[in-house]
Structure 1
Amino acid sequence: MIIVKTLEEIELMRESALVVSKTLGMLAKEVKPGVSSLYLDKLAEEFIRDHGAVPGFLGLYDFPNTLCMSPNAQVVHGIPNDTPFAEGDIISIDCGAVKNGYYGDHAYTFAIGEIAPEVEKLLKITKESLYVGIRELKVGKRVGDVGYAIQEYCEAHGYGVVRELVGHGLGKTMHEDPEMPNYGRRGRGKKFVEGMTVAIEPMINLGTRRIEQLDDGWTILTADRKPSAHFEHDVAIVNGKPELLSTFAYIYDALVIESDEEDEFRAKELVL
């Protein structure tokens, strides 16, 4: 069942999402060769608590950490460890936080130093596909419209679109209806309505779409061990169209990147 939110609830969810956004922005300055994912995990937990929230992933389904940290061929759900990052790695950082009883949950894939051109293109196309999908989140459209748009955009570049892992509704629990696959057929699936809140998150592989799971019961990686990228935003339907609750602006501010990619999805200017 889709849980529709009031405008007041959506504003509370925005606060939760922005805690995650600020956490990712803080981490952006720390992602560099020689740093470990476990070190970043500890920074994130402290930052989230200092901002009046609690980590959304820690203990959820018995997950042991604050962040899902998935480097290179890992798709999602990687467990932080002491292995230092190396020049040329990529790392997906997926973060959740709970504030005012609502979840924020989004992700960004960072390049560590100079990365291979084909991997840089993978990150670019995956992030672009996120916004391609968000544009379809309008009253009267359906889940399949979002999935189809993402799938078509990524497969046109020869990439594998993961099927087994999907986006989801978001609210007082981490996973609400509807599931939001990154593949699909236009006009199929649940219809979008005013007040819906979802997490859209393309998980796109450089090679095969097929995946495997490690014995830790969490870590998902590509079957061919080629790199995978993951970007995620929290989005609400307001006045019939998509409005971002999360932002990458704090990341871009930290990395001195100029971008207008989010402008069309904002009802008002974001103040950093």
Structure 2
Amino acid sequence: MLEKYEKAGKIAAKVRKQAAKKATAGMKVIDLVNWIESEIKSTGAGLSFPCNVSINQIAAHYTSPPNDDTLLCEGDIVKIDLGAEVDGYISDTAVTVIIEGDNAEPVDEEGNPLKMPGRLDDGNPTVTEDEIEERHAIKDASSSALENVISIIKDGVSLEDIGRVVQETMHSKGYTPIVNLSGHSLEQYNLHAGLSIPNYPEKSSVILKEGDHVAIEPFATNGVGMVNDIPHHYIYSYLRTRPLRQPDAKKLLKTIREDFTYFPFAQRHLMEGYDEHKLNRAMRPLITSRSIYPYAALKEKTDGMVAQTEHTIIVEKDGCKVTTL
């Protein structure tokens, strides 16, 4: 079991490091996402979840839909969140990148504006040097908080103490943790296994124990530290089989049950045999019948910029082992 957690962690860590170098201005998000997922699968591992590439105010749960035109732009603060699974044993890791390079024109070959659902602005933003400097500082607040948490994790550490370290680290740098996002425990075939690892010192008597597997992911922002749902869904999970009337919906649910029983998936993972409109029609009754669960993309409440850093950790008696270094 430990060997498989460690193997999944090494795979994810290697791809994360490569992806952080690969993400440059002018690149389509869908090209980055497809590359990351292909690299993970080329090792024989599976995906713990669709690769998330969440830009600026979007904190989490953005992955490219089919035919995504979203471009990375100079100065973007981009969260790349990915994971691998080996026989159901999971890794989950994230890095924040401040995008560099020359922007591409946000228009197609005919000069029409690109449809870019992964952005909250209209095309290439103008970002000042001061704004870029602050985005680096937000990124540092997130990564420093994770380092400080790792330094205290061992058998018996409380979730309240973990949250306190996150909050104190970020406040010392002038930023705020996002309090309604948290880390989580991991088990075989279970990405969110019960424990929530807070990013502020909520009152809790729960402690971590030797052998626990957890993902720690401090989110830092220059906003108020809360996220709201936005009315777009890009990631889904299988819930249960329900009776359905539509033949296409029945067929699609069978595919989802067979291929994505345990781990979340994206709409683009289901394109074989469908065009985008046909797939949308087939998915609607699956959502309304609660056969599948749609995860809303999450945006910082006051449009603050957001950074995320994440490692998967195995709790030991006198410390911890980070599988995703």
**TM-score category (smaller protein):** 0.7 to 0.9
Aligned twin of 1:233: 311
Q: 1:18 and 2:10 equivalent? A: yes
Counterpart CA distance in 1 for 2:150 and 2:40 is 26
Picking from 224, 246, 262, the partner of 1:208 is 224
Matched position secondary structure for 2:194: strand
Aligned twin of 1:55: 47
Q: 1:99 and 2:86 equivalent? A: yes
Contact 2:141 / 2:220 at 8 angstroms: preserved in 1? no
Aligned twin of 2:52: 68
Matched position secondary structure for 2:313: strand
Aligned twin of 2:274: none
Matched position secondary structure for 1:216: strand
Amino acid at match of 1:51: T
* Structure of larger gyration radius: 2
Residue 84 (structure 1) shift: 1.1
TM norm structure 1: 0.80
Counterpart CA distance in 1 for 2:157 and 2:48 is 30
Residue 26 (structure 1) shift: 2.3
Task: Render the CA deviation track for 1:37-69: whole Å, top value 9, x for unaligned.
Answer: 111111112111111111111xxxxxxxx2111
Q: 1:176 and 2:162 equivalent? A: no
Counterpart CA distance in 1 for 2:75 and 2:323 is 31
Give ranges in structure 1 of 5+ residues lacking alignment. 1-8, 58-65, 248-272
TM norm structure 2: 0.67
Aligned twin of 2:37: 45
Picking from 28, 31, 47, the partner of 2:23 is 31
Counterpart CA distance in 2 for 1:156 and 1:189 is 25
Give ranges in structure 2 of 5+ residues lacking alignment. 101-128, 234-295
Contact 1:13 / 1:171 at 8 angstroms: preserved in 2? no
Amino acid at match of 2:92: D
Task: Render the CA deviation track for 1:131-168: whole Å, top value 9, x for unaligned.
Answer: 11122211122111111110111123332221222100
The runs of at least 4 aligned residues of structure 1 exceeding 4 Å deviation read none
Aligned twin of 2:74: 87
Counterpart CA distance in 2 for 1:29 and 1:164 is 30
Q: What number of residue pairs does the alignment pair up?
A: 230
Aligned twin of 1:199: 215
Q: 1:165 and 2:181 equivalent? A: yes
More moved, 227-236 vs 130-139: 130-139
Counterpart CA distance in 2 for 1:176 and 1:136 is 22
Aligned twin of 1:267: none
Residue 110 (structure 1) shift: 0.7
Counterpart CA distance in 2 for 1:82 and 1:24 is 22
Counterpart CA distance in 2 for 1:215 and 1:21 is 31
More moved, 43-52 vs 153-162: 153-162
Amino acid at match of 2:146: L
Counterpart CA distance in 2 for 1:226 and 1:143 is 26
